[in-house]
Amino acid sequence: MARIVGIGSRGALQLGFSHFLIDSQMALLAVSMPFLIRDLALTLSEAGVVIGASVLFAAMPQPVTGQLSDRVSRKRMLVFGLIVCGVGSVLTSRSSNFLELLVFQCIVGVSSSIFHPLGYSLTSYLSDLAYRGRALGFLSGSGDLGMLAAFSSTGPLSLAFGWRAVFLVWGLLVLGFSAIFAFLGSLGDSHQRRKEGLRGRELVGRIAPELVFMVLLSLVNRIFLSFLPTYLSEAGVAESSASVFLGALVSLGILGELTGGSLTDKFGPRVAVSTLMAVLALVSLSIYLVGSGSLLPLITVVAGFPLFATYPCIYTATSQVAGESRGIAYGLLISVGWVGSAIGPPVAGALGDVYGLSVIFILVMVVSFVASGFAARFLKVR
């Protein structure tokens, strides 16, 4: 594995499986929501508040947790993040009302804010420069594999054993691996004295192009994935078939993340990012032109490749300009991207009400072309 992703096998497995566990927990809430609404008598507004608050607690603290990961033992932060995630999931299994569910899922959100800047910064430190994109692609794909596992397994398991059992088992699994990881020794430079990194405005100025691009990429992701299931349904695709195609989209996206990282290692962030976003724009235009029919689901699956493959590219670009402040840089990158893109679905929904839902793919195409041009102009060549 060290030869494949440019990072030691133990470190790659620890970080990859930790991302798998954390992101599966974030996906678990959305997939379980029909069961939670029924059993806890939630309104749709309350369900939306729980999901929104969980995402907010996952995004907002990341600059702070990223700065901590630059200063303290990364292994301890990794284990602590997993413990917080496991405890939040176990407590969620005991929820009896809206308020308890809200608080416990915010705890799970905090665990995500601990892991993401830590995981990406540590991966960039541990990986060889020539394989950094591939290593970051492996880490990114591991998280999406966790989401895919949650999407595919939660429904059947909840029907068979109940949603409480699913949250309990996932939580105990996370806690179990946190205990195992605690005894596996240090991760890379966890106990080494680190050089002083960039601070404040200097860091923000250095990574400003990456921050702007991350907002554009997150906008495209949120708009595309938020409305795609509804669009497929309106186009006459059966729900069971749509689930299969969405799973295939994520699977191809995981392959894309590994490939995107390799492309970045070979051609540099500017070429890889601008090319992938241009491809996504063309795929979105194709979806709009096809409109319906048997080709529509197949084309949407293809979109998963450039949509997901771009993430390790921008993570690699950030590591190249952030110096020793990669933890806080990744925290800022992910937090700004997630929060800045929150306006996307409301705007897309309003346009869809006026012009029809297919207009979202025109919107995705326009933003993708803008992102491609921005990357070609402002991101580093190498």
144 with 257: CB under 8 angstroms? yes
Helices (H), the chain: 2-5, 9-39, 44-59, 62-69, 74-92, 98-126, 132-161, 163-182, 200-234, 239-267, 269-290, 295-322, 326-340, 344-355, 359-378
Q: Where do the structural domains in the chain lie, given as residue ranges?
A: 2-182, 200-378
With 0-12 / 13-18 / 19 or more C-beta atoms within 10 angstroms meaning exposed / middle / buried, residue 136 is: buried
Residue range 327-364, pLDDT digits in tens: 888 999 989 988 888 788 888 888 888 898 899 999 99
**Which of 172, 145, 152, 52 is closest to 164 using CA atoms?**
172
Q: Of 173, 167, 170, whose CA–CA distance to 92 is shortest?
A: 167
pLDDT in tens, 64-106: 888 888 777 788 889 999 999 999 999 999 999 999 999 999 9
Give the residue with greater pLDDT, 153 vs 362: 362
CA angle 84, 336, 127 (to 5 degrees): 65
User: How does pLDDT run across 163-191, given as a tens digit for each residue?
Assistant: 999 999 999 999 999 999 888 766 655 44
196: pLDDT strictly greater than 60: no
| Distance between CA atoms of residues 326 and 138, nearest Å | 18
The CATH code belonging to domain 2-182 is: 1.20.1250.20
Which pLDDT belongs to residue 85? 96
The predicted-structure confidence for 236-268, as pLDDT tens digits, reads as follows: 877 667 767 878 888 999 999 989 888 888 898
Q: What is the pTM of this model?
A: 0.82
Class of domain 200-378: mainly alpha
Torsion, Cα of 37, 41, 43, 49 (10° steps): -70
Q: Tell me, yes or no, if the two domains 2-182 and 200-378 fold the same way.
A: yes
